[in-house]
Amino acid sequence: MAFINYASKEINCKIVYYGPGLGGKTTNLQFIYNKTSPEARGKMISLATETDRTLFFDFLPLDLGTIRGFTTRFHLYTVPGQVFYDASRKLILKGVDGVIFVADSQEERMEANIESIRNLEDNLEENGFDLKSIPYALQFNKRDLPNVLQVDEMYRVLNFKREPTFEGIATSGKGVFDTLKSVAKQILIELRKR
């Protein structure tokens, strides 16, 4: 649900990073935070456990610049990936404009990826959205690890609707901005259609 403020000439949109636990959602946000100028970003908030696992969400507000005189602001959120935090994941999807799914490329995490996409589909539906139509991109993260599956194999199993798909190494930033841009573009194109 985009928030269009004609008074201050701002468009605010919400992007949620989804995916299994320890897949790199928070690392995506941390990379964006570190590589963005302080004028373009707000404070990054992480509600995490003492062992740095996401407990509720991470949040990063980001200004992309102006479009037709409107400041375009994206609010990036991550969900907690661990299975038992499902209630929190549902809450964070409220009012979402676009989703980035961060898949873990390690072979042993494929089941967790598949389960998490199913969970995303269900939780979107509970919030009145449809994965088939919402702006969406897929990132195969951790491509630098030794035990990763082939990209085409992952694509075959995880790609839902021929959404834009990117290889990523969130720790070094590979694919991080490409994935974000892809969903941001889809959201703006949706806005144009309305």
Partner 1 sequence: MRSHDFVLYEDGLYRLEEALRRLRLDANAKAVFLVDKNGQQIAAAGEVEQFDVTSLASLTAGNVAATDGLAKLIGEREFSVLFHEGKQDHIHISIVAKRAILVVIFDDRSSLGLTRLRVRQASGDLEKIFESMAKQAEQGTMANTDSSPFSEITDEDIDALFSE
| Rounded CA separation 188/156 (Å) | 28
6, 71, 91, 96, 110 from 170: Cα distances, Å: 36, 27, 25, 22, 18
Residue 53 near partner 1 by CB under 8 A = no
> Shortest gap between Cβ of 67 and partner 1 (angstroms)?
5
> Shortest gap between Cβ of 32 and partner 1 (angstroms)?
13
- Apex CA 24: angle with CA 20 and CA 26, to 5°? 105
Matching residue, tokens 């990523």: 168
Residues binding partner 1: what is the number (CB under 8 A)? Answer: 42
Residue 8 near partner 1 by CB under 8 A = yes
Tokens of 81: 């990936």
In the bound state with partner 1, the residue whose beta carbon lies nearer, of 120 and 183, is 183
Tokens of 148: 């990763």
Instruction: Using alpha carbons, select from 47, 34, 40 the residue that is nearest to residue 64.
Output: 40
* Region of 19-27, 85-93, 103-111, 156-164 interacting with partner 1 (CB under 8 A): 85-93
Residue 91 near partner 1 by CB under 8 A = yes
| Rounded CA separation 143/151 (Å) | 9
Instruction: Using alpha carbons, select from 24, 62, 45, 53 the residue that is nearest to residue 138.
Output: 24
Tokens of 96: 């979402």
Matching residue, tokens 């089941």: 111
Choose which of 22, 45, 48, 114 interacts with partner 1 (CB under 8 A). 45
* Region of 21-29, 40-48, 132-140, 152-160 interacting with partner 1 (CB under 8 A): 40-48
Choose which of 22, 48, 61, 174 interacts with partner 1 (CB under 8 A). 61
> Shortest gap between Cβ of 98 and partner 1 (angstroms)?
13
Footprint on residues 95-134 left by partner 1 (CB under 8 A) = 95
Residue 3 near partner 1 by CB under 8 A = yes
Choose which of 35, 67, 125, 132 interacts with partner 1 (CB under 8 A). 67
In the bound state with partner 1, the residue whose beta carbon lies nearer, of 90 and 143, is 90
